[in-house]
Copies of this chain bind each other. A is one copy, B any other.
Amino acid sequence: MTVLALTGGVGGAKLALGLAQVLEEKEVVFLVNTGDDFEHLGLKISPDIDTLTYTLAGIENRTTGWSREGDTLNFLSALEELGGETWFRLGDKDLALHAMRTNLLREGESLTGATAHICSALGVKHQVLPMSDDPVRTVVTTTEGALPFQEYFVRRKCEPAVSRIDYEGAEAARLNPCLKLDEISSVIICPSNPYLSVDPLLSINELSEFLRNTSVPVVAVSPIVRGMALKGPTAKLMKELGFEADARNVARHYQPFIKGFVLDHQDREYISDVERLGLQATALQTIMRTLDDRIELAKQVLEYCSTAFAN
């Protein structure tokens, strides 16, 4: 039996790394958001897959959490000199990953196959699966109009207020065929942005139906602590969408899909509110500064899954 971890960018990858440290290769599968994927300079870029791949390979940039540690920007500086688009930061080594993926896809490989090739080359043994091999594209409707995800997130630095988020292609997208839902023993929604990272996953019908109907534990870990996002624009976005940015509203957001909710010790006062949603809830140390923090949270979430929902 296998733990299914749903994850997006940097925040989710922290817990994913913890899970990969405590679970064997066959014991966990990472299903990754591809709503952020886009094409840039002819390259097929999958930011969340790459963040997880680099993190699991131990070569992620320690400062940003994304891209590669010790990368150089010689390509980008030469591109700037030539008048090219440089708003999306592409390191020289990072570029090789995108070129490799683009080439594999051009040769007819699926995104799943290309991801497996790259993971294998970088020594990542755990299974990293794109949520779908079909394109799903997150589009953010803002005060400046509808923006493709990376235009909003990177180019406009999440500044325009958001009124609506769509996941284009989601209705037709098939869940990754390599994911064996009948082998899943529990599901962990990692502390990624609920709207930008996890909702694209939940927008795939086969996955959301599975989560709604399964009898296995489904547990989400809050990315919000004391009303603030540990990383990224989650809190700002919640306010723009009309929700108070606190862990309770994250639980409410996930309520149709989950059975248990993990919030931070600092938010333990909200446990009874979450329980009133018909969910189980527990408070853990969710802030992960060190590798030990990641491992410890992974252990405790797994422990929670295996004990709190026993019949």
A residues near B, CB below 8 A? Answer: 41-43, 68, 71-72, 74-79, 81-85, 91-97, 99-100, 102-103, 106, 117-118, 121-122
Q: Are A100's CB and B121's CB within 8 A?
A: no
Known: A72-B92, A74-B71, A76-B96. Contact between A81 and B122, CB under 8 A? yes
For residue A74, give the distance in angstroms from its CB to the closest CB of chain B. 4
CB-CB under 8 A from A83, the residues of chain B are 100, 117, 121
| List of B residues within 8 angstroms of A42 by Cβ | 42-43, 99, 102-103, 106
Please determine whether A41 and B122 come into contact, CB atoms closer than 8 angstroms: no
Tell whether, in the assembled complex, residue A97 and residue B82 are in contact, meaning their CB atoms are under 8 Å apart: yes
- How far, in angstroms, from A106 to B85 measured CA to CA in the complex? 14
Residues of B with C-beta under 8 A to A91: 74
Q: Is the CB of A93 within 8 A of B121?
A: no
**Complexed CA–CA distance, A43 and B106 (Å):** 12
Question: Within 8 Å CB of A103, what residues of B?
Answer: 41-42, 84-85
Q: Which of chain B's residues have a CB closer than 8 A to the CB of A71?
A: 74
CB-based nearest B residue for A94: B78
A43 CB to closest chain B CB, in angstroms?
A: 7
With contacts A42-B106, A117-B83 known, is A96 near B78, CB below 8 A? yes
* A41 and chain B: residue at smallest CB distance: B99
Closest to A117 in B: B83
Q: Is the CB of B118 within 8 A of A93?
A: no
- Contacts A/B (CB < 8 Å), 17 sampled: A42-B102, A42-B106, A71-B74, A74-B74, A74-B93, A76-B96, A77-B93, A78-B92, A78-B96, A82-B118, A82-B121, A83-B100, A83-B117, A83-B121, A84-B99, A84-B103, A95-B95
Cross-chain contact B84 with A100 (CB below 8 angstroms) = yes
Closest B residue to A39 using CB positions: B106
A92 and B75 contact, CB distance less than 8 A: yes
Residues on B with beta carbons closer than 8 Å to the beta carbon of A92: 72, 74-75, 78, 92, 95
Most buried by B among A68, A85, A103, A122: A103
| CA–CA, A284 and B282, complex, Å | 88
Closest chain B residue to A91 by CB distance? B74
CB distance from A119 to the nearest CB of B (A): 10
Q: Once the chains bind, are A41 and B76 in contact (CB under 8 Å)?
A: no
Q: Once the chains bind, are A96 and B121 in contact (CB under 8 Å)?
A: no
Q: A72-B74, A72-B92 are in contact. Are A100 and B118 (CB under 8 A)?
A: no
Residue pair A96, B72 in contact (C-beta under 8 Å)? no
A286 to chain B, nearest CB (A): 33
Rounded to whole Å, the gap between the CB of A54 and the closest CB of chain B is 11
For A76, A92, A102, A106, which residue has the most chain B Cβ atoms within 10 angstroms?
A: A92
Q: Give the Cβ gap from A272 to chain B, nearest Cβ, in Å.
A: 50
How many angstroms between the C-alpha atoms of A71 and B72 in the bound complex? 12
Q: Are A121 and B81 in contact, with the CB atoms below 8 A?
A: yes
Nearest first, the 3 closest Cβ-Cβ pairs linking A and B are A78-B96, A78-B93, A74-B92
